[in-house]
């Protein structure tokens, strides 16, 4: 009897799912591949969705639809349409999809990255808090961390052994986030395979893979409420990655509450406590926002440093040209400063080209349409509650805007702006820390080149990316050759 009930329920789900997917919804509905009941097009994505969707762009155009299970999904890779959606019609596309993984990751509806109704107030308060942070204090912190990064690389270079950048890049960005958010130092004498760094790197990697990939329970309507409860239960019971990092953040919060001087904030968490202190119900927002800033500020910048090292060892002629430009800019100084940026246009172009060719967030975070809308001069209909994915990789490989897109060519960004370049997103929900991230990238890239020639060890280095919310190449090694 029970078996028959489940069987009938399963058949009903398949039939209703098929009817919903095959029903014509508008005369200008988007084209896309044929979906199947329940799964939609999920089975077609494979293990490398960023490659799959870029190939689909060549078949279905710069905006097309997929069905992620029961979730109608729009994929866009045209800068004009992207700006029309997120700038001209930002009110309609400012919220995140109502998916269990996102709801769980946002701690309900708190924080900055994944929240919905509370997002605007949180962003405003975070921006106010960041404005109160002394620019000189931030620059001094960045200079100090770059100095420590280069010093640790020099200590390794004298061994003559092949060098692996991954953990060094993560320590560099983690150190900045520790100082900026918690006013806490990570000793560069600390073994990078142990201590605070090792404690956090693995769970953070798991979080980014989880948020980036999505699970079947996110996209099958009947399963969503059960999947959300399972996420909460399993992460707590089995000490999952979210629980590990949230416990870490909460411990810092308690330390700050006990030691805070409201008139002299030490860091971003103090500033958030001051901003939200009038409402005890917003304590989860303090914790979740700190977590969001900590995660986003670490993984994306670390990934860009790793890609930089890979591309420089791959293109020694480009590396040498950038080094000569940097050397001319700094003269006898032993370090590059942010004030040198206007004097290094070729390096600036290299940074843009790396982020175009290897966007660390292939889709960013998805958006949701609040209402039905027609865009593109009446050509494209997007229904209410659609999930919106910006295919940043497809955008960077769009031949309409980038000639020979598979080629690493920084000169494409010299002497001209390209409206298709938007690695940090556009509109109200673009990266809130983009200025800090850009400064980190410039200072780390330039000072690495000033001090080291990055050489291939004699074997090809794969640029294969394991898919997740951020993309990094598999671990590889280079030879560090001192330039002094």
Enumerate the known binding-site residues for heme.
431
Give Rg (Cα) of the chain. Answer: 23
- Largest Cα–Cα distance in the chain? 84
Cα 427 to chain centroid distance, Å, stands at: 16
Which residue stretches of 358-433 are H helix? 392-396
Name the packing angle between helices 241-259 and 224-237 (round to 10°): 70
End-to-end CA distance of the chain: 80
CA 353 to CA 311: how far, in whole Å? 10
| Binding-site residues | 431
CA 301 to CA 170: how far, in whole Å? 8
Triad 452, 455, 458: Cα angle to 5°:
160
CA 74 to CA 386: how far, in whole Å? 7
- Checking 252-257 for CB contacts under 8 A at 24+ apart, the result is 252/181, 252/182, 252/184, 252/290, 253/283, 253/286, 253/287, 253/290, 256/182
Q: Calculate the alpha carbon distances from 278 to 132, 207, 257, 283 in Å.
A: 18, 31, 14, 10
User: Judging by DSSP bridges, how do beta strands 373-375 and 380-382 pair with one another?
Assistant: antiparallel
Q: What beta strand segments (E) does 354-425 contain?
A: 367-368, 373-375, 380-382, 387-390
């Amino acid at each position: 009897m029970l078996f028959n009930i489940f069987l009938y329920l399963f058949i009903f789900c398949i039939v209703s799912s098929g009817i919903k997917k095959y029903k014509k919804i508008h005369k200008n509905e988007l084209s896309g591949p044929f979906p199947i009941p329940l799964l939609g097009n999920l089975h077609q994505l494979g293990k490398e969705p960023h490659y799959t969707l870029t190939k689909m762009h060549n078949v279905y155009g710069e905006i097309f639809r997929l069905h992620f299970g029961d979730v109608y999904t729009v994929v866009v890779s045209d800068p004009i349409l992207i700006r029309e959606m997120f700038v001209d019609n930002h009110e309609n596309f400012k919220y995140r999809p109502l998916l269990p993984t996102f709801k769980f990751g946002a701690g309900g509806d708190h924080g900055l990255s994944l929240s919905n109704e509370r997002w605007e107030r949180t962003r405003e308060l975070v921006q106010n808090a960041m404005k109160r942070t002394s620019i000189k204090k931030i620059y001094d912190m960045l200079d100090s961390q770059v100095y420590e990064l280069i010093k640790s690389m020099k200590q390794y270079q004298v061994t003559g052994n092949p060098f692996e950048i991954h953990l060094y890049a993560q320590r560099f960005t983690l150190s900045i986030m520790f100082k900026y958010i918690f006013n806490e130092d990570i000793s560069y004498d600390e073994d990078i395979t142990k201590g605070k760094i090792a404690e956090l790197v693995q769970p953070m990697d798991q979080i980014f893979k989880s948020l980036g990939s999505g699970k079947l329970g996110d996209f099958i309507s009947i399963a969503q409420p059960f999947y959300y409860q399972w996420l909460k239960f399993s992460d707590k019971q089995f000490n999952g990655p979210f629980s590990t990092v949230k416990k870490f953040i909460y411990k810092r919060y308690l330390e700050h509450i006990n030691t805070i001087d409201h008139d002299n904030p030490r860091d971003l968490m103090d500033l958030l406590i001051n901003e939200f202190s009038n409402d005890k119900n917003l304590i989860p927002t303090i914790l979740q926002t700190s977590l969001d800033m900590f995660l986003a500020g670490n993984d994306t910048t670390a990934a860009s440093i790793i890609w930089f090292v890979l591309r420089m060892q791959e293109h020694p002629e480009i590396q040498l040209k950038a080094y000569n430009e940097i050397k001319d800019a700094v003269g006898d100084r032993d370090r590059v400063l942010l004030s040198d940026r206007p004097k290094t246009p070729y390096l600036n172009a290299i940074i843009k080209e790396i982020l175009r060719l290897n966007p660390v967030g292939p889709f960013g975070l998805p958006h949701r349409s609040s209402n039905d809308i027609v865009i593109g001069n009446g050509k494209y209909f997007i229904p209410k509650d659609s999930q919106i994915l910006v295919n940043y990789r497809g955008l960077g490989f769009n031949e309409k805007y980038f000639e020979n897109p598979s080629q690493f060519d920084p000169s494409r960004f010299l002497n001209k702006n390209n409206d298709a370049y938007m690695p940090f997103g556009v509109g109200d929900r673009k990266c809130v820390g983009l200025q800090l991230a850009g400064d980190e990238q410039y200072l780390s890239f330039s000072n690495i080149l000033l001090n080291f020639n990055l050489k291939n060890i004699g074997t090809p280095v794969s640029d294969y990316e394991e898919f997740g919310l951020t993309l990094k190449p598999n671990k590889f090694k280079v030879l560090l050759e001192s330039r002094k």
